[in-house]
Amino acid sequence: QVQLVESGGGLVQPGGSLRLSCTASGFTFSTKTMSWYRQPPGKGRGMVALITSTGATTNYADSVKGRFTISRDNAKNTVYLQMNSLKPEDTATYYCYAVGFHLWGQGTQVTVSS
């Protein structure tokens, strides 16, 4: 089955940390640029981070730069999003996306609240 499966979401207090994982199956993960998107409640979906196939290059939205880190382990077919110093405005459904392959994960909910 060709799919991306996210995990690691949950409820966290402001200032806390969370690490999301996205595991791929059914395609050649190591050749794909991967990205994380998020969709806050009532708003559109936007990119928050991107990583190229070898992990040599990363890009971040300005709103998360310095707080979030995207990484990947091609041996495990997994991309990660380490989220630190979380803010209430980071509350959203987070999606993993395979760039150039048009494949989305099912999403995982992140709620930042005290």
**What is the tens place of the pLDDT at every residue in 90-114?**
999 999 999 988 999 999 999 999 9
H or E element, residue 86: none
Is 48:36 a contact under the CB 8 Å cutoff? yes
| pLDDT band, residue 21 (cuts 50/70/90) | very high
pLDDT band per the 50, 70, 90 thresholds, residue 62: very high
Q: Calculate mean pLDDT across residues 60-64.
A: 98
What was the pLDDT predicted at 11? 98
